[in-house]
Amino acid sequence: MSVIASEEVDPIIRRSLQREIGLLEMKKRLTDAEIKDFERKYGMDSNEFLRAFEDGELGDAQDCFEWWGLLRGRTAIEDELRKAKMVI
């Protein structure tokens, strides 16, 4: 088995990371759109929602848990994006 030179591997890794960044950015756009739908539906921004939800003011409706999950998911996506961009 031969050793692959770093110069040959680097472009492959870079392209893979760029593809992953593109997918993460698309996921973030889709998540942002779903979050905006909840903000419009309930007439409050996500910061207001989080405060009220975490203080137990909104009950346990399915929409609340979905909105909360989208916000947590977006944070994870943003973290992954930040890390991937740091590598490139």
Give the residue, 6 or 70, on which the prediction is more confident: 70
21 within some domain: no
Q: What is the pLDDT of residue 68?
A: 98
50 closest CA partner among 31, 72, 29, 34: 72
13 within some domain: no
Residue type, 2: S
**23 neighbors 73 (Cβ within 8 angstroms):** no
Q: What is the pLDDT of residues 27-63, one digit of tens each?
A: 999 999 999 999 999 999 999 999 999 999 999 999 9
- Kindly write down the DSSP assignment for every residue of 50-84, as one continuous string: HHHHHTT-STT-HHHHHHHHHHHHHHHHHHHHHHH
Domain enclosing residue 77, as ranges: 59-88
pTM for this prediction: 0.84
67 within some domain: yes
Q: What is the pLDDT of residue 15?
A: 95
23 within some domain: no
Q: What is the pLDDT of residues 19-31, one digit of tens each?
A: 999 999 999 999 9
